[in-house]
C-alpha cells in the first residue's frame, strides 16, 4: 500500500469508529429505589421478547451502505476492506451493501437508523435528513476539495459552446437522483431553454 492509501484507510477507520460510538444508546440515570421496588415480587416475571443482540455483534452487524455510484461489486470489495479494518480496530462486525438506487439507500438508512451508517451524496443526505432525521458526521475530502462538480461533455469538434446550444439535443445522464449527474445539471439546462 502506498502512503496515500494508508492515510485514507486510517481516516476511514477513525471516522467510522467515531460514527459507531455515536450509535450507542445514551446513558440513563439509575432508577431511584422506592418502597414498591424493594418488595419481593409475588409472581414470577412474565417473559417478554427476546433481547436483541448488541449492535456491532456478529449476530447484529452494523450496516454500512454505499450508493450505487459505480459497479456494485467494486464498491462492495472496497467496503469489505474497510469493514475488515474496522473490525480489527474495534472488534465490531460490519455488513457492507449497495442498495439498488440512491433512494433505496436512503430508505434503508431510515428503516434502521440506530445500526446503520451510509456513504451518501449531498442530496441523499438532504432526503434522509428530511425523511427521518439522519445526521451527517463527516464529509469526504477528495483531492483537497470538499465540493463536487458536475460537467457536461461534448465532442471537441461540436458546435455546442453554451448550455443554450444543448436545447433540442439528445443527451445521456446517470442515476436520476444523482446530485451532480442529474439534479444540478437538469435545472440549469431547463432554465437556459
Residue 157 burial (C-beta neighbours within 10 Å; 0-12, 13-18, 19+): exposed
- Domains of the chain in start order, with CATH, are 1-21+54-144 (3.40.190), 149-193 (no CATH)
Question: pTM to 2 decimals?
Answer: 0.55
Nearest partner of 24 among 55, 53, 52, judged by Cα: 55
Using the structure block, give the residue that is written with the C-alpha cell 414498591.
Answer: 36
Using alpha carbons only, give the angle 38, 43, 46 rounded to the nearest 5 degrees.
105
- Alpha-carbon distances of 163 from 170, 182, 193, rounded to whole Å: 13, 14, 8
pLDDT digits (tens, 9 = 90+) for 93-128: 999 999 998 889 999 999 998 899 998 887 788 888
- Mean pLDDT, residues 151-180 taken together: 81
Q: Are 124 and 105 in contact (CB under 8 A)?
A: yes
The DSSP code for 38 is H
pLDDT digits (tens, 9 = 90+) for 28-67: 443 444 444 445 455 655 656 678 899 999 999 999 999 8
Amino acid at each position: 500500500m502506498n502512503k496515500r492509501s494508508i492515510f485514507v484507510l486510517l481516516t476511514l477507520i477513525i471516522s467510522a469508529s467515531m460514527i459507531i460510538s455515536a450509535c450507542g444508546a445514551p446513558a440513563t440515570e439509575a432508577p431511584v429505589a422506592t418502597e414498591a421496588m424493594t418488595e419481593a415480587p409475588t409472581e414470577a416475571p412474565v417473559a417478554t421478547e427476546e433481547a436483541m443482540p448488541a449492535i456491532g455483534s456478529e449476530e447484529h452487524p452494523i450496516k454500512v451502505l454505499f450508493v450505487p455510484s459505480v459497479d456494485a461489486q467494486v464498491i462492495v470489495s472496497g467496503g469489505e476492506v474497510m469493514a475488515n479494518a474496522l473490525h480489527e480496530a474495534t472488534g465490531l462486525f460490519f455488513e457492507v451493501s449497495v442498495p439498488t438506487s440512491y433512494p433505496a439507500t436512503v430508505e434503508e438508512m431510515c428503516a434502521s437508523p440506530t445500526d446503520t451508517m451510509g456513504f451518501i451524496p449531498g442530496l441523499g443526505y438532504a432526503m434522509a435528513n428530511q425523511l427521518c432525521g439522519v445526521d451527517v458526521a463527516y464529509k469526504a475530502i477528495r483531492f483537497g476539495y470538499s465540493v463536487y462538480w458536475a460537467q457536461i461533455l461534448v465532442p471537441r469538434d461540436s458546435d455546442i459552446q453554451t448550455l443554450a446550444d444543448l436545447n433540442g439535443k439528445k443527451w445521456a445522464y446517470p442515476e436520476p437522483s444523482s446530485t451532480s449527474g442529474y439534479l444540478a445539471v437538469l435545472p440549469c439546462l431547463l432554465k437556459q431553454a
